[in-house]
Amino acid sequence: MTDDPIRIAALYQFARFDDPRALRAPLLAVCEANAVRGTLLLAKEGINGTIAGSDKGVEAALDHIRALPGCVEIEIKESRAAIMPFHRTKVRLKKEIVTMGQPDLDPLAGVGTYVAPEDWNALISHPETIVIDTRNDYEVQIGTFEGAIDPQTASFGEFPEWFRAKRAELEAEGRKPKIAMFCTGGIRCEKSTAFARAEGVDEVYHLKGGILNYLEHVPEQDSLWRGECFVFDERVSVGHGLAAGTHGLCRACRRPLSEADMAHDHFSEGVSCPRCYDERSDEQRARYAERNRQARLARERGEEHIGRRDEAERDG
């Protein structure tokens, strides 16, 4: 942990909220009153998100969250940053706090076996272990564990179909291996391992606290992690010790960019990158160019420009 002034708290908790809508306004008010920014998702199945601010401000928000039903022992992963990684504060109501598209799945009813970061290497190095990265394809591209399978999913909602097909493939080979899953902070694996168990898979494990917990506690010289870990804020990616990574971010599609990506002919700051250039129309790129121009002018005036991120999200 560094001495940087901004405290970042990534958190999630599966809990049973009877009326998430009633929780939204008080939570937003606490965050705004304490100058805490970030995004929090509320659903009947619990809470998920990342917030940032001063130590005092974040602690006030966390105290409020811990007082919510079933959240007294909420999972929190902390890091620090030199500058605020979020532009604003949002508390959103969702059907799921991590969208898998399995409405009857209840992670509170049973998940896989948690594995501490210190024990993870031994598990995934075992020849009978199948290691699965449950994140989206663009996240896997910049870093993953040695030997892990990339499902190449564009969204978490594609995971159940992929898993069923992969399981059928393994069973056709006469294999019933141990399955180890991992994700950024642990929340997807709560659902993916619960799904695997609901599908009848008994020996399934997941990395407690996710990749971020592993990178914080396992020394780089002992690590089986390769590359960087994508994070959903202005840091873009982190490495061992949760140090800031080397990747940039496409402001049009929100995907991470390597140095080679930023040198590509299809990269234009705030407008396009090699991955999204063919996904956008000339009209969309013109809007992004104007948004980027306004942001640049705001910086030159010493003002903060929030921009139109929602527009980029709507476009894909």
Model confidence over 47-98: pLDDT tens digits?
999 999 999 999 999 999 999 999 999 988 888 888 888 989 999 999 999 9
- Name the DSSP class of 272: B
75: nearest Cα among 212, 242, 229? 212
List alpha helices for 145-209, DSSP H.
159-172, 187-198
Phi and psi at 190, nearest 5°, equal -60, -40
| pLDDT greater than 50 at residue 313 | no
- Name the DSSP class of 186: S
Which amino acid is present at 10?
A: A
- Give the per-residue pLDDT at 222: 97
Distance CA 188, CA 98 (A): 7
Residue 2's pLDDT band (cuts 50, 70, 90)? low
Question: Which of 222-226, 240-244, 246-250 has the highest mean predicted lDDT (pLDDT)?
Answer: 222-226
Computed over every residue of the chain, the mean pLDDT equals 91
Give the pairing type, strands 89-93 and 37-43: parallel
- Give the per-residue pLDDT at 314: 37
Distance CA 131, CA 181 (A): 6
**Active site annotation includes 189:** no
Is the pTM higher than 0.85? The answer reads no
166: nearest Cα among 138, 141, 144, 133? 133
Lowest mean pLDDT among 46-50, 155-159, 211-215, 232-236: 232-236
Task: List the structure tokens of 14.
Answer: 């599966």
- Give the per-residue pLDDT at 112: 94
The mean per-residue pLDDT over the stretch 20-44 comes to 97
Distance CA 90, CA 72 (A): 22
End-to-end alpha carbon distance in the chain: 35
| pLDDT greater than 90 at residue 300 | no
The mean per-residue pLDDT over the stretch 232-252 comes to 89
Among the options 183, 189, 253, 276, which is catalytic? 183
Maximum distance among all Cα pairs of the chain, rounded to whole angstroms: 66
Q: Is 162 exposed, middle or buried (0-12, 13-18, 19+ CB in 10 A)?
A: middle
- Give the per-residue pLDDT at 4: 87
Residues whose CB falls within 8 Å of the CB of residue 193, separated by 6 or more in sequence, listed in order: 111, 112, 181, 204, 205, 206
